[in-house]
Amino acid sequence: MADKEDGLASEEPSRPGKGNQRRTARRIERQQREALRWWAQPGVLVFFLAVGLAAVGWFFVVQSSRRIPVREASLAGLHLKLNKARWVLDQMDHGENFQRPSTMMPDMPEWGSQRVTIDLAFENISQEPQLYAGEEFFLVPELGKEVAPMGAQVGRAPLEPGQRLNTTLHFDFDTTQPHGKLLVEWRRGGKSVYLPIPEPAEHYHLRPRGGEVSLPQDARLLLPIGDADRGESLFEGRFGCIACHGDLESPGSNNVGPHLAGIGTVGGTRVEGLSAVQYIYDSVRNPGLFIAPECKHGPCTEPTAMPEYASLMNLQHFADIVTYLLEQE
């Protein structure tokens, strides 16, 4: 009996000791949490990280939106409309053994450069005289340096209220270097707007040498700026392309011809060395030139059933339909 009592007595001091240890550990843990600054709490850090990432994303969205191209704009009393933009093939680029010096073709771009020409219409929409100034325009690449206009028509012209002016600007640009997307920037009154221009045509001097080469009709050289919405209307309405090729947003809706969803990407892989722009343009202009691999019920066959549209379409029609189809990625 005494032994049991001694055992119980020996256990009693240990119980409160363990409780004290647990309480001490909890107190230390609580003190450590309280010692953290409010901004160092895990939840707060996650919140601020999310806000920071959102701010960075919004910054890039805003920066990108500032470069969205438009065909009409008004700045500091002048209203501008872009009528046409086109590339003039470098007359030195013939893919021949003999490189003509620029002295043989006065006023043309130097070897390796191409010229883009833009036709502009201005109107003074203010109640005060305004000044048109060609030096307010720049060809702006994503990569590389901006280019000022050149030629005799760069100059200036006063415009009275309501007066209009049509003019042309030229830019010579080395398209053999990486440049990304090209736009024309109009800077006036501390603000800027961007005008679209087509992709430059192929540089023929990059082809293998060995005598005269056959220069195809480069779509990027021939076509004006296209409008995808107009192209969709032509595709579904005026030219009835949808009857054979189907609704591009509904796979399997084609009847006779191939379904063209994704042609903006696939078109650049059909013929080696041929861009999607050229493939689509040539296919519309000359339907039998290329035979697509897949039609409604298997491989497409020759001769093609597609009508000949070249005599029914002008260059703007071609540009609009090509632009619409290029968006089908």
Range(s) of the domain holding residue 138: 72-214
Do 209 and 316 fall into the same domain?
no
For position 198, what pLDDT does the model report? 83
Same domain, 235 and 319: yes
Cα–Cα distance between 208 and 273 in angstroms, integer? 13
Tell me the C-alpha distance between 81 and 86, whole Å: 15
Q: Are residues 117 and 203 in the same domain?
A: yes
49 lies in a domain? no
Bridge partners, 138 (sequence order) = 185
CB 164 within 8 A of CB 158: no
User: Is 256 exposed, middle or buried, given 0-12, 13-18 or 19+ CB atoms closer than 10 A?
Assistant: middle
178 with 267, same domain? no
Report whether pLDDT(2) > 70: no
Which pTM does this prediction carry? 0.51
Q: Which of 214, 245, 272 is the last residue of a domain?
A: 214
As a whole number, mean pLDDT of residues 286-307 equals 81
Q: What is the pLDDT of residue 192?
A: 93
Owner of token pair 């030139």: 289
Q: What is the DSSP letter of 147?
A: B
Contacts of 24 (CB under 8 A, 6+ apart): none
The answer to whether residues 162 and 233 belong to one domain is: no
Q: Do 250 and 185 belong together in one domain?
A: no
When comparing pLDDT for 127 and 55, which is higher?
Answer: 127
256/234 same-domain check:
yes
At residue 151 the predicted structure's pLDDT band, cuts being 50, 70 and 90, is low
Among the ranges 7-21, 87-101, 273-287, 296-310, which has the highest mean pLDDT value?
273-287
- Both 132 and 166 in a single domain? yes
For 59-71, the pLDDT digits (tens) are: 554 444 457 888 8
Task: Identify whether 15 is part of a domain.
Answer: no
* Same-domain status, 119 and 242: no
Q: Rg of the chain over CA atoms, in angstroms?
A: 34
Number of structural domains (the chain) is 2
166 found inside a domain: yes
pLDDT at 194 over 90: yes
Structure tokens at 194: 């961007």
Domain boundary among 190, 214, 238: 214
